[in-house]
Chains A and B, each alone.
Chain A
Amino acid sequence: MRFRVRRRVLYQVGIHATLLLILMAVAFPVYFAVVMGTLSHQDAYAFPPKLVPGGELWRNVSEVWQRVNLGRLMLNSTVVAVAVTVGKIVLSILAAFAFTHFRFRGRVLLFPLSMITQMLPLPVRIVPAYGLMASFGWLNTYYALIVPYLASTTGLLLFRQFFLTVPDELPDAARVDGAGPLRYLVSVLLPLSKTNIAALFVIEFVYMWNEYLWPLIVTTVPNMRVAQIGLKMMITSERTAAEWNIIMAGAVLIMLPPLVVLIAMRRQFAQGIAMQSTK
């Protein structure tokens, strides 16, 4: 009996030790990057590399902030990511509401819409899509960075799945009380959807903050660039001798917003993933 207890404890300790070791290995590259961001020029060139943080973080940050106008880039990324996220949530709620609460011919579109968005990622339409932006006069504007992203099948399917679980009595009761569909959507369905909205917010904010290829081609003036392109600007301006301490100070700032959003809303995010994986 005691033997079995001890075996169980050993088993638990063994798994935890393995997992913590893996965790440290996975996190190490980021640790190394953060340390680099705190080093002076001289320490950054040490070989073997330094593994203990230095005291130059603020100097490096203010340096990179000026060099690529990082404040403006981060502002652009914030505007674009928030606008796209909110827009996607609104549009997908409206569409999911239509697909779950009405009987209409347009319902046949549900499946094609979700397949189309899966099968048409940016690279398969990139040249004409760019041409479209040029003909709209949208190059170097927020429009080009926001509008083409507004439809989201991830959101549509997530909300559809959730709306299907809402008991029929709710819309029936709303109807009896004299509330129209939009009234019902806003005052009954929306408050119930808080978790799903939060989950989609994380998914789409992270996605949009991290977009790279489209912002790279539809913006050319430095003022309209987004933070991700700032990474490229930091590197190419230092191509000859990479000033890694400056670059990493910038990289750490750029990776921070999506990281904070994800960690702050991790519960809702995990629930969103669980729903997606059982669709």
Chain B
Amino acid sequence: MESKFPGYRLLPYLLIFPSVAVIAVFLVVPFAQAVQQSFYRTSPFGTTTRFVGWDNYVQIFSTPEYLRSLVTTVGFAGLVIVGGLVASLGIAILVTRRIRGLGFYQVAFIWTYALSPAVAGIIWALLFDPAVGLGTYVIQLISGYRINMMVQGTVALLIAATAAAWNMLGYNICFFIAGLQNVPKEFEEAARVDGAGVWRTFWRVTFPMISPTTAFLLFVNMVYAFFQVFGLIDVMTQGGPGGATEILVYKLYRDAFIRLRGNFASAQSVVLFLMVAAAALFQLRVATRKAVYSR
């Protein structure tokens, strides 16, 4: 590419400086410090700090609470991601069947995107309040059994996951609609002419063509289910009952800011980073593979 304004040598650096500075100071430096701190341990009163090597990491993977939190997170994220994406893809497919009112449905579904995880959490906490919740009432009508999310761990986890998936519906549907609209209609028609049924056409033609969208949403939903859901957990269950909804980010928060074990928390941060980085690279690979499928 040619410079569109030749002769301005310093200007481009000045233009990117604010962004680079913010990212360096508030993202890169703190992360580097987290890596460093994860190899140290500070005494309870902050008087001495000593190098402990991999000790904090060994501790992470030998603490039953951490391993339990890891399992909880995987289960929770699995429910939110798979459940949420399947539901939104289904709805997006219905919306993009050649029907009238596509614009209406686009707006009608997007609004859950504007609700914060904390708002979603409080609404679903009301819905399944053990005493006055409508959800509690309906389940009692159907099964004769009164659930209580303040006491039953599995119930709390299922409700929290449903609330989280519900919260992401608008965003996911919106992106799936955009992705599906980019699939040329001729491709699907060609497959039909060749005798492929609806099901086969979807899996062999449509689904591969929206794989960049799916990969992108997998990543966004993973970040949501791992991190952004913090507010939902904090207002809904605070990790309870009995740690049943204590996902990794919530445990990290409690270890860092309630139990004040900064070094141990930093090691947890690094472990979380490895998970996000792996997911981001996976998403990048699928996204760049797009060329192969679409042309």
Contacts and interface: CB of A to CB of B under 8 A. Distances in A.
Contact of B15 (A98, A266, A270, A274): A98
Interface stretch (B59-67, B120-128, B192-200): B120-128
13 contacts: A98-B12, A104-B9, A118-B280, A119-B273, A124-B276, A127-B266, A131-B33, A132-B29, A180-B8, A206-B113, A232-B234, A235-B125, A251-B119
Nearest to A19: B94
B253 A213 contact: yes
B227 A277 contact: no
A191 interface: no
B141 to A, nearest CB: 8
Contacts of A18: 94
Contacts of A125: 27, 30-31, 33-34, 269
Interface in A181-202: 181-182, 184
A87 to B, nearest CB: 9
Contact of B252 (A91, A94, A113, A126): A126
Contacts of B119: 210, 228, 231, 251, 254-255
A123 B132 contact: no
A10 interface: no
Interface stretch (B47-55, B75-83, B96-104, B201-209): B96-104
Interface string B121-143: 01111110101111001000000
B266 A128 contact: yes
Interface residues of B, number: 94
A30 B31 contact: no
Contacts of B179: 277
Interface in A128-171: 128-132, 147-148, 150-152, 156, 168, 171
Highest count of chain A CB atoms <10 Å: which of B26, B31, B174 = B26
Given A119-B277, A120-B273, A103 B3 contact: yes
Contacts of B216: 277
A212 B31 contact: no
B117 interface: yes
A279 B174 CA distance: 16
A102 B3 contact: yes
B235 to A, nearest CB: 5
B23 to A, nearest CB: 5
Interface string B7-48: 011011101101110110111111101100100000000000
Contacts of A103: 1-3
A230 to B, nearest CB: 9
Those 4 A-B pairs whose CB atoms lie nearest each other, nearest first: A212-B231, A210-B116, A128-B33, A98-B15
Highest count of chain B CB atoms <10 Å: which of A171, A175, A213, A248 = A213
A242 interface: yes
Contacts of B269: 123-127
Interface string B225-247: 01100110011000000000000
A178 interface: no
Highest count of chain B CB atoms <10 Å: which of A15, A49, A148 = A49
Highest count of chain B CB atoms <10 Å: which of A102, A152, A180 = A102
B5 A251 contact: no
Contacts of B175: 273, 277
Nearest to A184: B5
Interface stretch (A21-29, A55-63, A65-73): A21-29
A190 to B, nearest CB: 14
